[in-house]
Every structure is written in C-alpha cells, then in structure tokens.
Structure 1
Amino acid sequence: MAEIQPLRGWRYAPELSQQIDAYVSPLFDVVSVKQREALYRNPLNSIHLSVPRGEDPAGEAQLRLRQWQEQGILRQDELPGIYVYYQYFRLAGSAREYCRKGFMCHIRAYDWNEDVVLRHENTLPAAVNDRAELLARTQFQTSATHGLYRDEDFELECYLDEAMLNPLYQTEEDYQGARDVLAVIQDARIIRRFQQVLAQRQVILADGHHRYEGSLAYRRARQQAAGAAYTGREAWNYHLMYLTNAAADDLRILPTHRLLLELPGGLTEAELLARLAPYFTVLPLDDPYDLPERIAGKPWAFGLYLGEGHVYKIRLRPEVHPQLDWDTTSEVKALDLTVLHYFVLEKALGIVGPEAQRQWTGVAYVRNFPECLTRVDRGEARAAFITNEVSMAEVERVCYSGAVMPPKSTFFYPKTIGGFLFSSIQDAEANSPFYAAFHG
C-alpha cells in the first residue's frame, strides 16, 4: 500500500516565521482575485511561488525561488522529519472549536491504476499541465495536497499530540478563519512507525487532484528520460501530502450549492416547476433561511430558491430513481448530487450528460448559503439549489467503487495553506545521508 517518506522541509527563516501570517497564502484554486492582489504586494509572500504571474510564470517562480534560497529567506531543515499540522477552526452556528489533526510527508506518486491513492473527481487537463510545468521548472512543492487514510485505532495521534507540545510556529488566523500550527517529528523510530501504519492502507485524495496529477505527469516524464537508469528512489518520485485520519470527527465536508445563472431556453419559473414535478415532490415554504434545516439529513432533498416569496423544498420521488441511467456505479447513483445533476440539469433543463454539464457555463458552484439567496435577489442568477453536505462514508464508498463524483461534490474544510512548509524533489535530495535510511 502507501509508501511515505520523511523530508527535509524548506521553511521561512526563523526571523520571518515569527510573522508567518504575512507569508502564507490560500491554495491556487481557491484564492480570489482580491486576495491575490493583496498578497502579491508582499514581495516575500508564498503566492509568488504557488501562483506566479508574468509572461513566463513558471520561470518567474524559478528565479524567485533561487533568490530566496541564496538570500536565506527560505532555509532547509538539517534533519528529515514528519511535519505535524493542526488546524483549529469553528463552524457557523456552533460554539465548538474543532481541531483537524494531520501530518505532512512525502508519498510516492502512484498512478491511479495502482489503487493506492484513490481519486473522487476528474481534473481539467489545462490545470494539470500548469502544475506540471511549474513543478518541472522549480522542482519545489509549495503546498501539500490533502489525503485521507483510515485508522480506527488512532495509533498515530499520540505522537502528533506529543510533537504539538513544542510547535515550530503558528498563524494567528488564516484567510478562512482557521489557526494553523506546525510541529515536527524527527525521531527515526517514530517515523518508521508512521511508515508501517501507512504501508497497510490506501489513501483517498481529498483535495489537490490537479497538483497530484501534475506530480504524476512530471514523474512519468523524468522516468521516461531516465530509461534503464531509473531506480524508483529518485526524489521526484514523491509528492508532498497532508494526511488526516478519516475516522476523526474533526474532518468536515461542507456543502457546495448549485446556482443557475440562466435557465436554458428562457424557461419561466412556472415552466421549471412543471418540469420538476414528474420527478420531485415540491413543497412551498415561507422562509428561505429554513431551507438547510428542512433538507438536513434527508436523502435526495434540496432547497430551491427562485426569489423572494418563491421558496421550495423538493425531494425526489423514490420510484423514479431507477430511471437514472448514467454509466456509473450504484454508489455514485445514490448520491444527492448525482440525483440533482441527472433529474434537474439533464431531465428538467436538457443539459444531457456529465461532460456537457461540466462544460456548461450556466451553473456556478457556491459554498456560502446566504450568497446564493443574495445573488438570486439581485438578478445575478435565476435559481439556487441548496444541497446537503456529502458524508465521509459516501466519499469512501465512491472511491472504493472506482468511480468519481459529480464536479464540486466535496469541500473539505478548512483548506490547507501554502507557505507553511515547502519540499524539494531535486536530484540532490537523494544524496542526503539520511535519505537511504528510510527507504527500506
């Protein structure tokens, strides 16, 4: 199963890491334009490496990385380690403070068909190529993807908690309101135990499919170029990943709602409701802010908001579910979002098939529930379909079935941040005296 390795992490110099909040950044695929501009104004912010810009973005990142290393802005730890990463956060409407516990390490970049790292969504080739090009030029990984392993015994958590007694640094509050804390484990005996536990498990990729596939593409290219000299131990065989225990109740998946920016063919509200009626029971409601509660925990139930005074709870009629004839697994067909995409987007709106729906520009994916209502009220969208969150059990069932979910099915919260820890996959890493000690 999964082979993991410690790494000699690159981090901001101690005098800079005391103000680490100034240098961390959101992941490249969730940062907003406004956030980007504010971060770019800081010449030392990690966004210059993770989301570089210019006529040759990858070249700009390569040049800046070299400068930061030469100037001591980034420094490499002397000893290899497993980097413990905790994220403390709260959810709206709850007084509880959650703590998602995990650790960052290198994991072998397995091809999908090896069934060691499992995906739950498809990727866009352009985004994968962008990540692969950046990796090829810099040979530097700026933010960990998020992977899940399941350990009902929670064997590794005691080591994580012990390391957290002496943190390296922490943020006050990142862009999403979470507090991030980093520590390190450099005890070789404990590191080997981490390796033994993961060697018995598969890993589900929760977040970062494009970055992971970028690593796969780069590894394949290097392997082909190496030819008969390839050993499998080269540093570029590995990928930076943040691993968390899927059995923990601090692993949160938030819903992503569907906002229809248009109704195909100029459909009116009455026509839309008439097209939904053969498939759904439609219940009018008074208050749109009741929608999340009214659908909570109910399979195949959705909120529908069409503007002030036009609020509905809709729920699929169970007897029509067998009509769902997409070529996928029963685990995917059972998902709320598959039901929504098939019976609303395809049957009611005529956007036929998953690929056509992926390409359709008339739908937006919005995580913030009040934003959905506001954009409909402002006339920026015609309808909002409010959804329940996907459960971890559903993610696991789909991944183990070998299928993928509809687009934007999961939003694991909080997101990891960039700039907290960097890793190098240059050839020289394999020459470290510590490298061979952990490779069996």
Structure 2
Amino acid sequence: MLMALIDVDDPGMLVLPTHRVLFDLTAEQVQQLTAAQLSRYFAVKQVAATDDNTLLAELAQVGSQQPALLVKTADQALLLTINEQGRQLMGESGHSEAWNALDVAMVQHLILETLLHITAEDVAAGKNIRYIHDTQHALQALNNKEAQAIILLNGIPFRQVRDVALADDRMPQKSTYLYPKLITGLVINPLW
C-alpha cells in the first residue's frame, strides 16, 4: 500500500478552500440566500466592502476565531457564523462532532441541503453547484452572471481533517484541496 506521512503541524502543509458556485437556482432558492432566511441558522453580518480583497480579509479575520463563510450575490455580501439553532441542527446531521465543526459541513448541511434542498443526487448530476479553488475565478463567475451566488470559504486547519478521520467520519465533498501536492510518478514502479 502506498501512503504519504505528513506532520499535521507542518506550516507548509495547507488545506486550501474550495468555493461553491451556485447557478440555475429557482426564485425560491435564491430567496433562501437572504439575510432573513440565513439568520435562522447563522449570525449574519452585512459586509459593505468596496473591493473583494477587503471582503476576503474580513472573512479570514473572522475565520481565524470561529468557522465563518461568506455568501455573495450580485446584491449583497453576507458574512456568516453559526448561531445556536444552527449548532442544534448540525448536531442532528448524523455526523461526528468534528465534522459538525467544519465550515464546509455547515455549508453542505445548513445551506445546500436544508435551505436550498440541493440533494447529493443533484450534486452528482452537476446541477446547481460547481466547485472552484481560485477565489478570483469564483468572484468572476458571479460578476459575469455565470452564477447567481457564491459561497466563499477559508482553508481548513489540517488538524480538523485529522480530527474528522479520528472520529471515523469522512470530510464533506470537495473539502480537502491539499497543498503542496505530492510529486506525481515519484514512486510508481511495477510491484511484481
């Protein structure tokens, strides 16, 4: 069996964010992305940043203290942190406590599944959601009207990935964009 052993405290090992780009939403689904609806599960802060770098800096600053995400549409930018009702619903997810603490799990369970009713089958079929690693490409998709909304995330601390694995759980889809990547072909040889 091939494996790579990594020090979870290595400062050069990163889990970069994978942003969610939402498209082909119904009017009812778009309505669920308003501050009033999101406040059912999140503390919502309207961000009136003049540029995208300021938005990202605020997301990173809040995310350094607690799980945070940013929902951006053509009309608004909302910085979200989970509230008590959201924590209770996450506790009913059927996943481990470590999984429930992930911002990307909150996106999946509270926003995509609960508010927007986007199922795992919809995701597998490529409906309503695309995943983008590059923040500028995600913002550009929104600006070019290729998306109705984007959900921007912070990177996940590597220890959280370890905690989910130790809880015998699996990370949410498209949440482990590890950097740097292992060198391809370094150890590929016939084993016979």
> 1:291 is paired with a residue of what secondary structure?
helix
> 1:244 is paired with a residue of what secondary structure?
coil
Asked whether 1:267 is paired with 2:28, we answer yes
Query: Partner of 2:117 in structure 1?
Result: 350
Change (3 A) 1:299 1:357: farther
Deviations 1:336-362 (A, max 9, x none): 11111111111210125xx34642521
Asked whether 1:359 is paired with 2:130, we answer no
In 2, the alpha carbon distance for the partners of 1:292 and 1:385 equals 12
Shift of 1:318: 2.9
Contact residue 71 and residue 150 of structure 2 kept, 8 A: yes
Q: TM-score, normalised by structure 2?
A: 0.84
Query: Partner of 2:106 in structure 1?
Result: 339
Contact residue 288 and residue 311 of structure 1 kept, 8 A: no
Shift of 1:320: 2.9
> 2:136 is paired with a residue of what secondary structure?
helix
Query: Partner of 2:79 in structure 1?
Result: 313
Shift of 1:303: 1.1
Structure 1: tracts of 5 or more residues without a match:
1-238, 427-440
Change (3 A) 1:242 1:397: closer
Contact residue 252 and residue 412 of structure 1 kept, 8 A: yes
Contact residue 345 and residue 357 of structure 1 kept, 8 A: no
Counterpart of 1:255 in structure 2: which amino acid?
P
In 1, the alpha carbon distance for the partners of 2:29 and 2:97 equals 34
Asked whether 1:330 is paired with 2:97, we answer yes
> 1:407 is paired with a residue of what secondary structure?
coil
Counterpart of 1:240 in structure 2: which amino acid?
L
Structure 2: tracts of 5 or more residues without a match:
none
Asked whether 1:291 is paired with 2:51, we answer no
Counterpart of 2:114 in structure 1: which amino acid?
K
Query: Partner of 2:68 in structure 1?
Result: 301
Deviations 1:309-337 (A, max 9, x none): 52221222134311221211111111111
Change (3 A) 1:390 1:360: farther
Query: Partner of 1:404 in structure 2?
Result: 170
Q: TM-score, normalised by structure 1?
A: 0.39
In 1, the alpha carbon distance for the partners of 2:24 and 2:160 equals 30
Change (3 A) 1:357 1:394: farther
In 1, the alpha carbon distance for the partners of 2:185 and 2:17 equals 27
| Higher RCO, Cα 8 Å, sep 6+ | 2
Contact residue 240 and residue 423 of structure 1 kept, 8 A: no
Aligned residue pairs total 184
> 1:243 is paired with a residue of what secondary structure?
coil
**Identity over aligned pairs, percent:** 24
In 2, the alpha carbon distance for the partners of 1:268 and 1:422 equals 47
Query: Partner of 1:424 in structure 2?
Result: 190
Shift of 1:420: 3.8
Contact residue 14 and residue 155 of structure 2 kept, 8 A: no
Asked whether 1:279 is paired with 2:41, we answer yes
Counterpart of 2:70 in structure 1: which amino acid?
G
Change (3 A) 1:360 1:333: farther
Query: Partner of 2:7 in structure 1?
Result: 245
Counterpart of 2:77 in structure 1: which amino acid?
V
Shift of 1:268: 6.8
Contact residue 17 and residue 175 of structure 2 kept, 8 A: yes
**Root-mean-square deviation (CA), in Å?**
2.1
